[in-house]
Amino acid sequence: MISDLVDSTTTPSPFEPAPEPARYGAPRRGIDPDRTKSWMRRALPIVAAHKVSFATALSVSFVSLVLQVEIPQLLGTDALNKAVVPFVEQASRPVAERLPASHFEHLLLHYVVLVLILAVGAGICGYISRLFLMTTAYQIEFDLRNIIYSHLSRMSFSYYDRVQSGQLISRANSDIRSVQMYLTFGPSILVQCLVAVVAFGYMLATNVALAFVAMCAMPFIYVAGVRMRAVLFPVSWLIQSRLAEVATIVDENINGVRVVKSFAAEGQQLGQLAGAARRLRWAYVKDADVRAQFTPVVQNLSQLGLALVLLFGGWLVVHDHLQVGTILTFSFWIVMLQMPFQMLGMMIMMGQRASASAHRIYEILDEPAEVADRPGATDLVECRGDVRFRSVTFRYTPDGPPVLEGFDLHLPPGQTVALVGRTGSGKSTVARLIERFYDATEGTVLIDDHDARDLTITSLRAHVGMVLDEPFLFSVSIRDNIAYGRPDADITDIEAAARAAGADGFIRELAHGYDTIVGERGYTLSGGQRQRIAIARALLVNPPILILDDATSAIDVQVEKAIHERLETLMAGRTTLIIAHRLSTIGLADRVVLVEGGRVVADGTHAELLATTPLYAEVLAQAAELEATEAETAEAPGAGEPEAADRRGGRDS
């Protein structure tokens, strides 16, 4: 109940992080943080974490391939040369010297059975190696994805101010895939090449001259593969960046759909998307064109190898240096070997793409979180709610203008302070610095006399509740949205928080009450309803420091008044910073602080400021004017409120 909520502020307990069930299995290893190493060495720990399944995949695949290399040997050199050719040859001998046909049939059957056994063996090994290889591949992908997401979740606001979410989504998907492919299929192609060496050894053992003739087309196949890669690489790079471009446009269009529609700018947006899609299509078609040019070349080069083996092998057979079955064996091997040589070229191409992808992924991972726990940071416990800004200067970007400059402010425990100033004067920035969304560029923000930078971020943020003017709701039930900061809260507490925020009434009128699922970002609710849920969410956590940043801007004056009455009770014993334009909201505060040009220019009660600072009256008048234009149908802005503000101002002065 609300009384419980208030009570627990006065009896603080040691900091305990909110229970948060792990949703992703943590990856076993991260990437090597040493930036001087090559990208593959940096990725090695991730691969090494799955070495057992990877090594199994590679060794079993080696066995499977060796078995496959044996098959042409059995078919040509053994079955044909030892069973079929002698039978044909003995036709020229006298009948008495001939062996019975059944002898050759048995021999043939023997080899056929052997071939079948090898084929089945190779098939089983192929299954096992493929299964293990793919398992490893997806494990690596899973790890990379979790490493990136957990890193992103640690990143500071300044990072999200800079990056485009479409780029991030694209990187997290296609770049992870291309790195994963190379890390797993690269070694597997190398195994195939190793098997090619084994096969070449077999060829040399069978006939040295024919072995060289058979292999003479292979370097050309490799060179064609490398050529193809050289042409393809820039194209595939282009595809990646254009995919990201399309993703960014789609992402912004979907997230900004309300703006797009309100300006009837669908046509313009579609045009923009079509342009990006056209550029992407061009890159894809170019890619297909290059592949189509090179594939026949590579294929026909291996046909050339076959023709040469037939020519030279046939000559050897005619001159009795070779048995005819060996030609068949060599032909099989050529067809088998063409693959690894072609893939070797492809592997180099994949390697370049993977290297580019890896660098983009590392770019994300190497970005340090600007706001992070210091070594030896302590937890904020038993927070009294004392907040102090000591000559704080703050810039959003190192070369940007200072938003706050020599900013001094003290919020004693339990006081309610209104921060007033023109738009863009830095009020929200003050709030963000208390929560350590950003760290002060110069000077110090002190919470209970601790430098905020010496406190752990989780414990600090657990003690500061913040409600923004444009609150974000998740696509879950209203109950879960309110309980976001305290997932274990029971329904009576949730209802009490909702009542305090003036949300209980409208929630009960919804079809499913507290179980109503809100649409994406809460767009099925009105702006004021969303704000009230956000206030309830902050109140439920019951933080000793509460920040309301224009948190009631979309709530109409009557409802706001009712909320204020309840908030007054709730704010007791709690340090509250109210950022507001409305007089009615300012009226809630014990003290008003006027901010201008990144500094505090006036500090006192509403009445004092009104009397001494012309700028204050000016800012209030501007805000009232703005509100009047915004709410054409609403009742006269500020009616009755100055009274409330005066009451408060008077009380304190």
Ligand X SMILES: Nc1ncnc2c1ncn2[C@@H]1O[C@H](COP(=O)(O)OP(=O)(O)OP(=O)(O)O)[C@@H](O)[C@H]1O
Which residues are CB-neighbours of 199 under 8 A, at least 6 positions away?
A: 69, 333, 336, 337
403 touching ligand X, by CB under 6 A = yes
How buried is 392 (Cβ within 10 angstroms: 0-12 exposed, 13-18 middle, 19+ buried)? buried
Is 248 among the residues that bind Mg ion (CB under 5 A)?
no
Quick one: which segment of 395-403, 428-436, 511-519, 606-614 binds Mg ion (CB under 5 A)? 428-436
Query: Which SS3 state, helix, strand or coil, does residue 418 take?
Result: strand
CA dist., res. 242 & res. 248, Å (int): 10
User: By the 8 A CB rule, do 648 and 589 touch?
Assistant: yes
Cβ closest to ligand X, residue 125 vs residue 623: 623
425 lines the binding site for ligand X (CB under 6 A)? yes
- Binding part of the chain for Mg ion, among 17-25, 324-332, 421-429, 478-486 by CB under 5 A, reads 421-429
Query: Does residue 370 belong to the site contacting ligand X (CB under 6 A)?
Result: no
User: What are the residues facing 603 on neighbouring strands?
Assistant: 593
Q: Is 630 in the site for ligand X (CB under 6 A)?
A: no
Q: What is the largest CA-CA distance in the chain?
A: 134
- The least CB distance from residue 549 to Mg ion, in Å, is 6
Residue 531 contacts ligand X per CB under 6 A: no
The amino acid present at 528, given as its one-letter code, is G
Is 192 a binding residue for ligand X by CB under 6 A? The answer is no
**Long-range Cβ contacts of 244-247 (<8 Å, 24+ apart):** 244/166, 244/167, 244/170, 244/171, 245/166, 245/276, 245/279, 245/280, 246/166, 246/273, 246/276, 246/277, 246/280, 247/166, 247/167, 247/169, 247/170
CB-nearer residue toward Mg ion: 229 or 530: 530
By the rule CB under 6 A, 552 interacts with ligand X: no
Q: Does 538 bind ligand X (CB under 6 A)?
A: no
Pairing mode of beta strands 591-596, 599-604: antiparallel
Instruction: Report the side by side order of strands in the sheet with 575-579.
Output: 464-467, 545-549, 575-579, 416-421, 591-596, 599-604
Which residue, 282 or 396, has its beta carbon nearer to ligand X? 396
Query: Which member of 185, 237, 396, 523 binds ligand X (CB under 6 A)?
Result: 396
- Smallest distance from the beta carbon of 598 to ligand X, in angstroms? 8
Among 14, 296, 376, 424, binds ligand X (CB under 6 A): 424
Q: Binds 429, which of Mg ion, ligand X, none (CB < 5 to 8 A, cut-off by type)?
A: ligand X
By the rule CB under 5 A, 428 interacts with Mg ion: yes
Q: How far is the CB of 486 from ligand X (least distance, A)?
A: 28
**Choices 6-14, 36-44, 254-262, 419-427 (CB under 6 A): range interacting with ligand X:** 419-427
Return the residues of window 103-162 that contact ligand X according to CB under 6 A.
Answer: 161
CB atoms within 10 A of CB 292: 9
Enumerate long-range contacts of 610-614, CB under 8 Å, 24 or more apart: 610/649
Q: Which residue has the tokens 């000591």?
A: 390
Q: Which of 268, 293, 303, 423 binds ligand X (CB under 6 A)?
A: 423
Picked from Mg ion, ligand X, none, the partner binding residue 425 (CB below 5 to 8 A depending on kind) is ligand X
Residue 47 binding partner per list Mg ion, ligand X, none, with a CB distance cut-off of 5 to 8 Å that depends on partner kind: none
Say whether residue 72 binds ligand X (CB under 6 A): no
Among 427, 463, 530, 564, binds ligand X (CB under 6 A): 427
Residues 6+ apart with CB under 8 A from 209: 312, 316
Closest to Mg ion by CB, 179 or 466:
466
Q: Which residue stretch of 6-14, 426-434, 447-455, 488-496 sits at the interface with ligand X (rule: CB under 6 A)?
A: 426-434
Residue 116, token pair as written in the block? 């079948």
Which of 386, 364, 388, 385 lies closest to 440 in space, CA to CA?
388
Name the one range near ligand X by CB under 6 A: 44-52, 318-326, 346-354, 421-429: 421-429
Radius of gyration of the chain (CA): 37
List the structure tokens of 635: 């009742």
Q: Which is nearer to ligand X, 241 or 441 (CB)?
A: 441
Q: Give the residues lining the site for Mg ion (CB under 5 A).
A: 428
Q: Give the residues lining the site for ligand X (CB under 6 A).
A: 161, 396, 403, 421, 423-429
